[in-house]
Each structure stands twice: as structure tokens, then as C-alpha cells.
Structure 1
Amino acid sequence: MDVVIAVVGIVVGAGIVVAGVVGAHWYLWRRLVWETTERGSIGRRAGTGVIVAGTALLIGAFVSESAGVPFLITQIIAWPGYLWGALFLYLVLWLLVGELVRPLLRRWITHSNRSEVAVADVPVPETAQRDDPAPVSRRLFVSRAVGAAATLAAVTTVGYGTNVVLNGPRVQQLTVPLAKLPRAAHGYRIAVVSDMHLGPILGRGFAERVVETINGTQPDLIAVVGDLVDGSVEHLRSAVEPLSRLHARHGAYFVTGNHEYFSGAEQWIEHVQELGLRLLANSRTELPHFDLAGVNDLQGERMGQGPDFAAALGDRDLARTAVLLAHQPVQIHDAVEFGVDLQLSGHTHGGQLWPGNFIAGLANPTVAGLERYGDTQLYVTRGAGAWGPPVRVGAPSDITVIELASKQA
């Protein structure tokens, strides 16, 4: 019975999502195409074609990798497809803002053109009627004005957000005091990077920029907290090669994210170690002044490789400080139970595309930044890259250098 209820819930949820997406596309077409062009016109055909083609490319970008499409084709369709996804979102949002403007614009036109309307009621000579173009109706003028303004605003928003991603992540500095950290470890610096999402869009050049930025901070330790890739080792071997040049006094450590399990986790687990990253798979290492542990992502449960906090933390010395790498912030509840002092996570992208931060907040205890849960602190980075559209709005990418502070210092 529980299985039936779960299946029904999934079907209903999927139906609601599909209905919402279809409805949003109809709204977009109606406002930008149907209300601004004449029946049978080139403009109407072109506008309809753009919306249909953009949607087809977006669907193709989503399914191409899992469908076994050649990687070159995936790369070709990923850029326009995913960019259309971001543009579609902001076209709809700006058109909704335009709904508030429409009645005000109509009143303003009516008020300012009252005298012209009176003149228009005067009979016009037949020759003038033949020579002068037909006047544009108030409704058509408002629809075109609002549509043009929404399109300009959406293109500007997406252009800005794309520039944010392609310029690479900025470095954030954060000091985190830990009660049990010995004085000798005061000032220890951990560079935290997550969610690079190297794949058909963000490739080798982006990876080189990230590595250069991280190495430039001269950290004591580098924590790569999952979602490194979107694609197979075969296709992304060159893209990830720059990671072999990550350098820190105590090395670079890696834990899986959910996207590793969509991209061939076993092959990636092997390959990141070939690159020189040290894997923490439900395990820990004892550094000179604290324990560094890592757990697998929750998505690994599908393969019997889910997180195991007991294996990573169960038999440790509780007098020592414990820093945990766990991709998803929701894993904080287990971290609290096992006495972790600081958990470092990613996964949320800070919402990536506003208002996505509100949606991310429904599924994650912390969307971005540092928060405390009991005696455990949780830091969530917004991540270095982007998933899907290479666009960030209201959630700039980051690499965070966390400086541990001893309260005994």
C-alpha cells in the first residue's frame, strides 16, 4: 500500500510540474507572440519557432548524456539549450512584473492621448485614409511595449548571470572558532570548493581558473566537496586534468556528490585518486591537530554506497576536533549526533537562479553561509560552477578559505 501511495504521489507531482511548465510556455507565447503579432505574419511564425526550438534544445540538453548521444553533439546543444532555460525563467518573471505595469500604461496612454483620440473621431479624407498606415491599437501598443521591456530585462539578467559564472568564483574568507581546536592549529586554513560541474559547458579552461584561484590562496588543506563533474571519465578526462595541480601543505581531499553517481561514480572515484586527490569515502584521516572525515553522498544509497557516519566517526577520540566533508547540508543532523565540530558542504548553489534560493531553502537546513546546530557548525559554500544553465543570479559562485580559530589562542 505504501508503494502505491508513493507511486501515486510521484505521478501527481510530475503531473503538476508538467502542467506548470506547459502553462508557463503558453503564457510566454501568448504575451510575447500572439498578442504582439498578426495572424499569419512572419513575426508570429518566427516567435513561435524560437520558443519551440528553445524548448526542444533544453530538453535535448537534459537528456542527451543519459541517452548516449555523442558528447560533441551534447556540447553543441548544451549552450543554447540551457541558456534558453534561464532566459525562459526570467522572461516569465519579467512578464509577470509587466502585468502590474499594463493597467498603468493603458491609463497613461488614455490620459495623454485624449485630445488625439478626439481628433481621430473627425472624418478623415478618403485619400488620407489610403495613404496613412493604420493606427496601432492601444492594446497592441501596450503588449509590444511590455513584451520588449521584459525581453530586454530578461536578456540583460541572463547575460549578467552568465558573466558571473564565466569569470570564475571569487574567494571568500571566513574565520570559524572551534572550542576543542588546540592552540597549535590556530589559523589553519582550509580552501573549500564544491559544485564545479565540469561537463559539456564548463570545461578545462574553467578548471584551470579554479585551480589557479585555489592555489593562489596558499591553503593548508583543500576540500573538494562533491559534484565535480557532469559526464563520464571518458569525455571529461582532459577537463579535470588541471586538478592534478592542486597544491596544499596537507593535500587535497575529495568526497562524492550526488552528480558523481549520475556520471559513473566508481570510475570517478578511481580517477580522482589518479589525479592526486585523497578520497574520503566513509572514512577519516588524523591530521596533526584535528580529525578530517568524509562521508559519501546520499545518492550513493542507490548503489549500496551511501553515507556511513559510524564508519567515518564511530571510534574516534571525542577529545579531538572533527571536521567533516559531506556534500549535502541535510547530513548535518547525523553530524550533530556523532559530535562533529564543523561540517563543510555544498550542493545548494545558494539557489543559483533567483528565486531558486527559496526553493533550495525548502530542502536544505542551510542554503549558504555559516550556521550552528547544537554544538556543530555547518558551512555551506555556493559552489564554484553551475549546473544546467551557466548562469548565476543572486547567488555568486565562491571558493571559501576557512581559517580555523582556537579559543585557547
Structure 2
Amino acid sequence: LTAGQLLTQGRQTLRSIRPPTPPRRLFLPRAVAAGASLAATAAVGYGTATTFRGPSVKRVTVPLAKLPRAAHGFRIAVVSDIHLGPILGRAHTRRVVDTVNRTSPDLIAIVGDLVDGSVADLGPAAEPLRELRARHGAYFVTGNHEYYSGAAQWVDHVRELGIHPLENARTELPGFDLAGVNDLAGATEHAGPDYDLALGDRDQARAVVLMAHQPVTIHDTVRYGVDLQLSGHTHGGQMWPFTYVAEATNPTVAGLERYGDTQLYVTRGAGAWGPPVRLGAPPDVTVVELAALRA
């Protein structure tokens, strides 16, 4: 053998007996991947716990120019997107009802997406809604998920539970009118929102609060001179990356904003759709307190 060949064989022999050590360039990516996996697991666990803990209470004051002094301080508990289903069942309903009742509201507004399933399957889960308490009662409008679950049956069922459905309808309350329109998804069943039916013959001198599930209806609401629209649907984005979708498809994702002479309040909702996980958008029940400008 030549000297060069002997040197090559020696190097090969040394490589074969040297214990393998992971290259530094592999250690760092593996450590990062492991850390990311742990962080994701922790985030999902936290988001799940947040959902099952139930909604917290938010409070917001909304001044209305037409509201009389006698109605100053009228409190509406706004709850949306309860999403009763296979995961969020009767215990979830109980948490929501207890949270609402603790606020002692004057009125309860349930603005859609109550269920993800039929009355036959979820009727028992909805039963605690019968215990909602407010001086002027509880009212309900449909959300898009009601039309995936049998909207007509659910409208009848919530009425049996003592809740008043507003299907493109309006009722007079002390100091203001409360109106409700069906969800846009109802158009597939020839039962979509009808603003003329709900608002067409109202007294324009009275303030009106409109229950409408989706914030995107705000532009129709403005045209009808509504003072305040109460909505849900967005879940406040629920969790990343759905926050980007919610922001791209809704004029307001959460909170109070003004559109011309109309104000829009969007609650983040009390439940969750899909995975029962909420990150950065905890569930809420909002107490909207109406204020007269000359109280």
C-alpha cells in the first residue's frame, strides 16, 4: 500500500470507532421544534380551559340621543354564540344562565347561534334557559347555525322555554323599541332579514335597539335609522389564525363602534364553534347599559 492509501484507511478506522455526536446544526432545530410543540400544547390547554370556565361579564355604557330620562340606566344582558352541541352541553348552558342571572338585567338579548344540532338531540341541553330571569324578559333572534339545525323547530322550542323570538318583529318597551331580524342564512328558506317588516311602521321619535346576529347587516341598519344594533357571530376571532378571517369579513369584530348615527355592539359570544378553544378572545356576556343624553 502507498502512504496515501494507508492514511486514508487510518482516517476511516478512526471514524468507525469515534462515538457519534449529533451535529450542532441539528440540535438547535430539534430544540426549537420541541419548545414550539410544548408551547402549542400549553396554549390549547389554556384555550380549552377558558372555554369550559364559561363567560365573564363585560359592561359597556351606550348613550342614545332619543332615549328618555325615564329609561336611563336600562340594562340589557347580551349573549350570543352559545353553540350548544356534542361538546358544550347542559353544564355549559347552566354556566351561561348563572352568569346572566347574576347581572340582574332588565332584559336579556340572545343574538343567535344558540345551537349546533336538532331540538331532538339538544333539547335537554337547552333546558336551563328556562331559568333566565329579567324584569322585561328574554328575547331571541336566529343566527346562521340555527338554519343548519332546524330554525323553525328551535324558534318554537325557545318560545316553550319562555323566551320571546323576534322574527323580523318589534316590541315596545318602556322608553324604546326592541326589534329583531332573522339571520342572513334564513334567505335560503325564504326567511331572511326583513327590515321593512321589523321597522317599517315604527315611531321615528322613539329610540330603537335592533338584535341582528351578523355585524355585516349594519349598513342596512343604518339606512333604517336604528340607534343601536346588538350582534355576535364573530367570536371575537376565537383564536389565531381565525382572527384574520373575522377581521376580513366583519366591519366590527368585537366591541362598540359607530356607523353614522347608528352604534354597533358586537359581543365575543359565550361558547365556541369547532374546537372548544379560545385564545385571545375569551367568552363574554355583555351588560349594555343605555344612557339618556339628558339624564
* Contact 1:294-1:324 at 8 Å conserved across structures: yes
**Code of the aligned partner of 2:31:** A
Residue identity in the other structure for 2:57: V
Can you give the 5+ residue segments of structure 2 that lack an aligned partner in the other structure?
1-9
- Aligned with 2:177 (options 271, 279, 291): 291
Q: Structure 2: how far apart are the matches of 1:356 and 1:226?
A: 20
Give the unaligned 5+ runs of structure 1. Answer: 1-121
Encode CA deviations 1:130-155: one digit per residue, 9 max, x unaligned: 7x4x2223343233212101101100
Q: Decide which of 105, 112, 116 is 1:230's aligned counterpart.
A: 116
TM-score normalised to structure 1 length: 0.68
Counterpart CA distance in 1 for 2:15 and 2:260 is 84
Which letter does structure 1 place at the counterpart of 2:220?
Answer: D
2:232 to 346, 352, 358: 346
Structure 1 contact 256–327 (Cα < 8 Å) conserved: yes
- Using the alignment, how far apart are the partners of 2:249 and 2:78 within structure 1? 22
The alpha-carbon deviation at position 127 of structure 1 amounts to: 11
Q: Paired residue for 2:218?
A: 332
Distance 1:324 1:146 in 2: 50
Where does 1:239-318 land on structure 2 (aligned, <5 Å)? 239-318=125-204
Q: Following the alignment from structure 2 to structure 1, what is the Cα–Cα distance between the partners of residues 92 and 15?
A: 65
Offset at residue 126 of structure 1 (A): 6.2
Question: Does the Cα contact within 8 Å between 1:354 and 1:395 map onto a contact in 2?
Answer: no
Q: Aligned equivalents of 2:195 and 2:15: distance in 1?
A: 87
Aligned length: 286
Per-residue Cα deviation, 1:352-376 (whole angstroms, up to 9, x for no partner) = 0123222211111100000000100
Matched, 1:215 2:101: yes
Relative contact order, CA 8 A, sep 6+: which one is greater? 2
Conserved 8 A contact 1:282-1:308: yes
Deviation above 3 Å: which 4+ runs of structure 1?
A: 122-128
- SS at the partner of 2:222? helix
Q: Distance in 2 between matches of 1:361 and 1:128?
A: 59
- For residues 235-264 of structure 1, the C-alpha deviation after alignment (integer angstroms, 9 at most, x for no partner) is 111110000000100000000000000011
Whether contact under 8 Å (1:383, 1:397) holds in the other structure is: yes
1:338-377 matched pairs, under 5 angstroms: 338-377=224-263
Matched, 1:129 2:17: yes
Aligned to 2:7: none
2: CA distance between counterparts of 1:271 and 1:216?
24
Return the letter of the residue paired with 1:200: P
Cα deviation, residue 124, structure 1:
10
Amino acid at match of 2:215: P
Report if aligned partners of 1:353, 1:391 keep a CA contact under 8 Å in 2. Answer: yes
What aligned pairs does 1:92-103 form with structure 2 within 5 A after superposition?
none
Report the equivalent of 2:292. 406
Q: Deviations over 1:92-136 (max 9, x none)?
A: xxxxxxxxxxxxxxxxxxxxxxxxxxxxxx979869927x4x222
Q: Say what the alpha-carbon RMSD is for the aligned residues.
A: 1.6
SS in 1 for 2:253: coil
Match for 1:263: what amino acid? S
Residue identity matched to 1:202? L
Q: Distance in 2 between matches of 1:266 and 1:322?
A: 26
Change (3 A) 1:127 1:382: closer
* Secondary structure of the corresponding residue to residue 258 of structure 1: coil
Q: 1:123 and 1:176 mapped to 2: Cα distance?
A: 81
1:282–1:142: structure 2 CA closer, same or farther, 3 Å change rule?
A: same
For residue 394 of structure 1, the aligned residue among 241, 260, 280 is: 280
Which residue of 84, 89, 92 corresponds with 1:198?
84
- 1:14 is matched with none
Q: What do residues 149-181 of structure 1 show as CA deviations (whole Å, max 9, x unaligned)? A: 110110011111111111101000110000000
CA distance in 2, matches of 1:205, 1:398: 16
**Percent identical:** 68
Taking the aligned partners of 1:169 and 1:300, their CA distance within structure 2 comes to 28
Q: Which has the higher helix share?
A: 1
Counterpart residue number, 1:64: none
